[in-house]
Structure 1
Amino acid sequence: MFGAFRPSAIAHGGLLWKNPFRMSNTRKANVRKRLRAVDSVIAAVAESGVKCKALDEALALPKESEMLAREKYTVFSRAAAGYRKSIHKVPKFTKLTNRTSPPGF
């Protein structure tokens, strides 16, 4: 058990995913950058003259500059205490469209 192939401490148990409690300033800046990039794509498609239901829904969403910090960095979650969950705890949060929460949350 004490040779070159002994099990590591992680294999014995402990934290596997080390998510920080709070989002760092760098992560928040990257979230804002991604939101602005999506806003610019939506605006470019709208200027091109394309008409579709998905574009209408995307244009109805608030822009990054219009969003509250709570909406930028957290998402609605029924299971979480306070019904809000930090966005860095959500898998693939960049692929979700969670710019608006249910009324009252």
Structure 2
Amino acid sequence: MFGSFVGAFRPTITALGGHTWRIPWRLSKTRKANVRKRLREVDQVVNTLVESGVQCKQLDLAMAMPKEHEMASRDKYTTFSRKANKHRKGVHKVPHFTKRPIPRTTPTGF
């Protein structure tokens, strides 16, 4: 099929559907450590707001979420996805996962 392509118009791996960048299929130790660190930092911010006496609905919801040390590794490193196999995908596959909040619990029913 591709034998007739020669010269400048022959297909490359990228042209045949290859990725131009790679997302590793598994989180490395350092990336996992950074995820845990970010979760702990969020916990510290929530604790600081609670101690300051601020009250709001979002703060109450944040207090109801489990702390980093209470979370299972499944919830730390994966997130819910309707399209993924078994409805979970690695947190590093979420676009901009370091900048957007990742839910700490799985929706009910899954």
TM-score by length of 2: 0.81
Structure (1 or 2) with the larger CA radius of gyration: 2
Match of 2:32 among 28, 43, 46: 28
Q: CA deviation at 1:15?
A: 1.6
Select the structure that is richer in helix.
Answer: 1
SS at match of 1:93: coil
Q: CA deviation at 1:103?
A: 2.3
Match of 2:64 in 1: 60
Match of 1:102 among 89, 93, 107: 107
CA contact (8 A) 1:76 1:101 kept: yes
CA contact (8 A) 2:32 2:77 kept: yes
Query: Considering only aligned residues, what root-mean-square deviation do their CA atoms show, in Å?
Result: 1.9
Range with bigger deviation, 57-66 or 10-19: 10-19
Cα distance in structure 1, aligned partners of 2:23 and 2:63: 33
User: What 5-or-longer segments of structure 2 have no aligned partner?
Assistant: 1-6
Match of 1:5 in 2: none
Q: How many residues are matched?
A: 99
User: What 5-or-longer segments of structure 1 have no aligned partner?
Assistant: 2-8
Cα distance in structure 2, aligned partners of 1:96 and 1:60: 15
In the alignment, structure 1 residue 77 sits paired with structure 2 residue 81:
yes
What per-residue deviation string (whole Å, max 9, x for no partner) do you get for residues 78-104 of structure 1? Answer: 100111000000012231241011124
User: After the TM superposition, which segments of 4 or more aligned residues of structure 1 sit over 4 Å from their partners?
Assistant: 9-13
Give 1:41's aligned amino acid: V
Q: CA deviation at 1:47?
A: 0.1
Cα distance in structure 2, aligned partners of 1:10 and 1:39: 44
What per-residue deviation string (whole Å, max 9, x for no partner) do you get for residues 47-96 of structure 1? Answer: 00001111101101100000000000000101001110000000122312
Cα distance in structure 2, aligned partners of 1:40 and 1:18: 33
